Chains A and B, each alone.
Chain A
């Protein structure tokens, strides 16, 4: 070994990225979960000036898509720069065409892949091998890692081996399970990297670079006479590759003491039953096998590291020839194949090996294949045992599944959910927290403290929510004297931290507690009252499992020490105090050290407050005396109310309760279709405070309704007589409307669905004249209001909906209509959802939505619950998500289909004119319009038509019945964020804008890739810091609006509802009416901008007032005399740009890190804003049509 071992607690992504960075000169990157953190780390290291192995800072370029990144990488390699990249899932698929080229030309290159599920019937961000297995034919070497330690080591081997062999490498590890698992690893010293990478290989690579100084030509087109032979010419490179990797493994072992094999066998030397597996599941399998062998069985695990090129010889050599049965486990699914890829390789290899004499003829095991772990489905020792048990059978089941209950095809093996083999000397802790309370951050510190300050090994894995507001986090921590190989969640914890009291009513948080475990509860109830406050189910678990109960009022300690809602350090201190992992004083000293490290840059005040919280904690921590029996009458409420529909009860409810893993295959739709309108059954009660309406003060502008991101503020007008049945606290006022005199008006809050963002209060213009601090909406604590408001809201929902024929393109009028997206999982104060909600209010009952992947597809369609809903007639948005990159095309396809349906319906109508009646047919043919009155009339006509068709005995009538609804005009909206519209989907967007088809495109511009964590896009403004633009974006934001206007055939508008809501409504209306493509660019404030979302509307105003975001509507059809095709809806800049920028941390970051550069960029940005506004003014003036036609 070359130097003393340095250990660190890092996750798999960081472990791999550190090596990649050290061995790279250029990177082409693009964000995709779960690989993004690798690229982010590299960008940050580069910004900080970290150098690679050759003493130079790697340079990176963010591309518009993974396809773009692959193209750039090919170029980088061709020109002789050591290059790398990171990707996953669909991103990897987009790279495939270039990867063939890179492999075909034998460019040494490493692509690090966090293996992730491919989108099929649904998207999933989680881990399996469906993406990498779709690449096994490319000609890249494929090297797998199973742990964060291996992610580092295999990364190094991959980089060294690709240089040696010239064959490009795909280094992959399991998304999330490995990429996001935090573990204590032995760091590779720089010397080891130098020893592994041969400078001669680097030199040879450099010499092969394409250069005009000594040109060759690459990228020829070859004909039948040449191609085949030339394609076979690369074979020797693949032939030597396994040997090269083996040599590098040997070298690595020499350097670090860590042995690796191409096929690594672990288990009984005379094993009869063997599992073959790739990736993190191998660790769990080995753990199980070791237990079985210790209990008298003969099992083993063959871990595959080098998957391509596959070496039959090495495979055969690694396999014990005593084996009688093999189960090959694939973490992927190939419907219709003989079996999954690894299974097929094993079967073929055995046959070849026997033929070649590499295995004795007597070695003729039964081989079965099985699927496990799709989309990070849990894979536990008990499941592995079930597989080994199955291999004992005379004829073990083939093509089985493990980890689910398949009651449809009967593929699944049964396993014992209770069986557990975790050793008692491993501390296993599970913490339930809220994202906002800092639990995960504190737990990461805990792992670092234990991992780096003690001899213990440590592991942390974090399970997050699919909701962004009020998100629950579950931290799974393990500490023990040996390296931890358990690549599955903790199921028998000896410490359970419940950091938020309300979880007891939502989840079975104690289900993970092992008998005798310690439970730490944050509660306002105090040590005497906390027992009585627990629901009966929790009490029973505590009694029957003999759990020890501790409680602290961490909310109070946090309040008193100025920590607000951050209970993390308080709960962390309790954990150390109770668990005794470290002596108490030492633990506190270490916590303080970690606090100082984490918060030093936030100033002494924050550090002091955290210290004070730590110091105040122990005095408030109490052990609770647990009675002998449960005595509470209060039960945990069901996850959904009992009157919820059957599917919601059976499926959604289980998922909401965190028990979705128990659902069998038959519970699920076969094609990914999912019922809408299910968020309404999930009352989350996440707001501490909700708005309270003052009926007398309200001026009935309905602005609060418009801005509410979660459709939790609603307005209706109604007949006064209905109030007879109103609950006692239901508030109302006389409706201020001359046309509807005598009617009543109510603003009603959905108290249990509100997130407490306060946007409604911010926008409320109605102030009490004597006390302007009091507005028509004020925030007040939710709990005392909850019951009454629940009844009020229910009553409110029962009130009649307004007549859609009265729809006007005005804020107040539109906001009376029912939103058909409600209570989504978007962030509190989200700047996107008000636009979508508006869409559904205006056109929701005839709306098609093609939604690009991103935030809007997540809050729109991430299970368990679905926010898009239907009106009383059962109509509502037809929402769907195809991919990230194809959304414009996808929406266009829908339009084309609808137009064809309409055309056919018209043809059939004409054909059946005699039976349907000439007048009806004429009316139906003429009634295809977006006007609400026409739509209502047309729907009536369709009903009449259906009635008439029923009696017609003609195939044409049957066909028309299926198409009749398409006689009513549908509204197609293509919706997505800036990452899609400006970058990855721009080609499609461009094409659709030129298509002439009647589609509407809504781009919710947050100016970064919000969903993946705020990476820079071409919409990111100059001077802002974002991931991949840590040093500040140097280029100005792309003006997509200007570009789209140049087309001259599309409607284009730029809106910002916080600045001018009326213009937004007007633009949506005009876009929908416009008989061609329309583009609406919508300013969307976002948490990635780094300020409180309650100021989102104010920032929108400043964006407009500074001229940064000029509002306009461009309609190329406004060409009558005196008309202006381009209407500027906002005035010339009134305030300096700096006034807008100063409030957002994304700009302040650069001011702090490089003030001079920040000032230079801001000055350039100001100049650009000023000149841009002038361009718009000149455009407007030049387009203006003279009032009188000019005479010749």
Chain B
């Protein structure tokens, strides 16, 4: 079966990608992912927040103690050559490029137009084949409207797409009130594709300690449902590429995402749990499944169950919810 896929203008040997994760920190696992059939490497995100936080922490906790006391003008080795995350990240792009033959998609995470967007250009210079801009933002200010939020994301997108020549995808959260409209605007702003969706850290509460506990949970296959719906809705009208991210754990999950309209399918949690080797199994499954079900091509399958082509489009709309409730109450 020919699985070749065009994503963000890149020619990929198949539609399956390891998503942004710490796996790419290690060149060994990057190599293993390529061996397992990964079509491209998506690097973990360089966080705007992280860049600013680390710099601030160093100023407050390291620099503030310098040149105060005669016996110790500093307390840690001079860090002239110890770059903050960004430089290390840029170096890592180069290293991965030299290690593997598949495209490398770098990822930049932030929300405000600012100094950090200059890293987009540096990533391109370092050899990235495409960029994923991850807009990861929780509006908590009652004076900020949804339009403000959208404008900000569009500004960032434009800033980045203007700055670089390589294709740019935007990774979104699911919390936009009119996603199809916003998706169109992003496309107009220069985004070649959308990645659906990023996952927020969901903090837990500790009732004993009266505190909030930040926690990171790996994804659950159930989370795929949300992606399936929006892939189906957006792929029906959108001309850009879509990438499914979140909840794909098995070959069948991948098939579903592709049927809903995903151009590519990203996996993270399951690879973290089962190792890069699992990638090969999913790929094999997809390949076999298409053969067994006598598909002629991947294109035949892709989007076959989206809002435009599925037998019952209302199932993707509000009715879906009602129906389930009705069926439950009918028991």
Contact = CB atoms under 8 A, between A and B. Distances in A.
Nearest to B118: A604
A33 B77 contact: no
User: Interface residue tally of chain B, by bracket?
Assistant: 35 or more
The 10 closest A-B CB pairs, nearest first, are A435-B68, A604-B115, A1013-B72, A440-B67, A772-B210, A471-B68, A464-B70, A1088-B75, A602-B55, A1014-B75
Nearest to B114: A605
Contact of A1091 (B57, B70, B210): B57
Interface string A692-736: 000000000000000000000000000000000000000000000
B51 interface: yes
B64 interface: yes
Residue of A33, A37, A473, A1090 with most chain B CB atoms under a 10 A cut-off = A1090
Interface in A1041-1084: none
B294 interface: no
Interface in A581-613: 601-608
B25 interface: yes
A958 B58 CA distance: 63
A1086 B55 CA distance: 20
A1149 B77 contact: yes
Interface stretch (A415-423, A648-656, A1151-1159): A1151-1159
A1025 B76 contact: yes
Given A473-B68, A602-B59, A44 B84 contact: no
B98 interface: no
Contacts of A473: 67-68
Contact of B65 (A40, A444, A565, A1087): A1087
A261 B89 CA distance: 54
B66 interface: yes
A1091 B54 contact: no
Contacts of A1092: 57, 60-61
A1090 to B, nearest CB: 5
Contacts of A1090: 58, 61-62, 75-76
Contacts of B64: 435-436, 438, 565
B73 interface: yes
A605 B116 contact: yes
B250 to A, nearest CB: 28
A48 B61 CA distance: 24
Interface in A30-45: 33-34, 37, 40, 43-44
Contact of B210 (A33, A37, A601, A769): A769
Nearest to B81: A48
A772 B70 CA distance: 42
A601 B114 contact: no
Given A441-B63, A606-B59, A1091-B61, A1010 B75 contact: yes
Interface residues of A, number: 66
A1030 B77 contact: yes
Interface in B22-75: 25-27, 51-52, 54-75
B54 A603 contact: yes
Interface of B: 25-27, 51-52, 54-88, 92, 114-116, 118, 210-211
Nearest to A440: B67
25 contacts: A33-B70, A34-B70, A440-B66, A440-B67, A444-B67, A462-B67, A465-B69, A564-B59, A603-B51, A603-B55, A603-B115, A605-B114, A606-B55, A606-B56, A1010-B72, A1010-B75, A1012-B71, A1013-B71, A1087-B61, A1091-B61, A1092-B60, A1145-B76, A1149-B76, A1149-B82, A1153-B81
Nearest to B62: A1090
Contacts of A462: 67
Contacts, number: 164
Nearest to A1011: B71
A1093 B27 CA distance: 35
Contacts of A1012: 71-72
A435 B67 contact: yes
Contacts of A48: 81
Interface in A1113-1158: 1145-1146, 1149, 1152-1153, 1155-1156
A48 B74 CA distance: 19
B75 A1087 contact: yes
A1152 B88 contact: yes
A371 interface: no
Given A440-B66, A440-B67, A1152-B85, 16 more contacts: A33-B71, A37-B73, A436-B64, A438-B64, A440-B73, A468-B68, A471-B68, A473-B67, A603-B115, A608-B115, A858-B71, A1010-B75, A1030-B77, A1087-B75, A1145-B57, A1155-B25
A566 interface: yes
Contacts of A925: none
Contacts of A565: 64
Given A1026-B76, A1090-B76, A1145-B58, A125 B70 contact: yes
A566 B59 contact: yes
A333 interface: no
Interface string A169-195: 000000010001000000000000000
Contacts of B74: 1013-1014
Interface of A: 33-34, 37, 40, 43-44, 47-48, 125-126, 176, 180, 434-436, 438-441, 444, 462, 464-465, 468, 471, 473, 564-566, 601-608, 767, 769, 772, 827, 858, 1010-1014, 1025-1027, 1030, 1086-1088, 1090-1093, 1145-1146, 1149, 1152-1153, 1155-1156, 1159
Contacts of B61: 1087, 1090-1093, 1145
Nearest to B211: A772
A1153 B68 CA distance: 26
Nearest to A471: B68
Contacts of A180: 70
Contact of A602 (B58, B69, B114): B58
Given A468-B68, A1090-B62, A1146 B76 contact: yes
A1155 B79 CA distance: 15
Nearest to A775: B210
Contacts of B92: 1155
B312 to A, nearest CB: 48
B60 A564 contact: yes
A1124 B321 CA distance: 62
Contacts of B71: 33-34, 125, 858, 1011-1013
A471 B59 contact: no
B70 A603 contact: no
Contacts of B80: 601
A1146 B118 CA distance: 28
Contacts of A604: 114-116, 118
A44 B85 contact: no
Contacts of A772: 210-211
Contacts of A465: 68-69
Contact of B79 (A440, A566, A1149): A1149
Nearest to A1094: B61
Contact of B66 (A33, A441, A1156, A1159): A441
Contacts of B60: 564, 1092
A261 B69 CA distance: 36
Contacts of A37: 73
Given A601-B79, A605-B115, A772-B210, A1014 B68 contact: no
B83 to A, nearest CB: 6
B68 A605 contact: no
A174 to B, nearest CB: 14
Contacts of B73: 37, 440, 1013
B253 to A, nearest CB: 29
A1145 B75 CA distance: 11
A639 B81 CA distance: 44
A1086 B62 CA distance: 11
B248 to A, nearest CB: 26
Given A564-B60, A608-B115, A1155-B88, A464 B75 contact: no
Contacts of B55: 602-603, 605-606
A1014 B72 contact: yes
Contacts of A34: 70-71
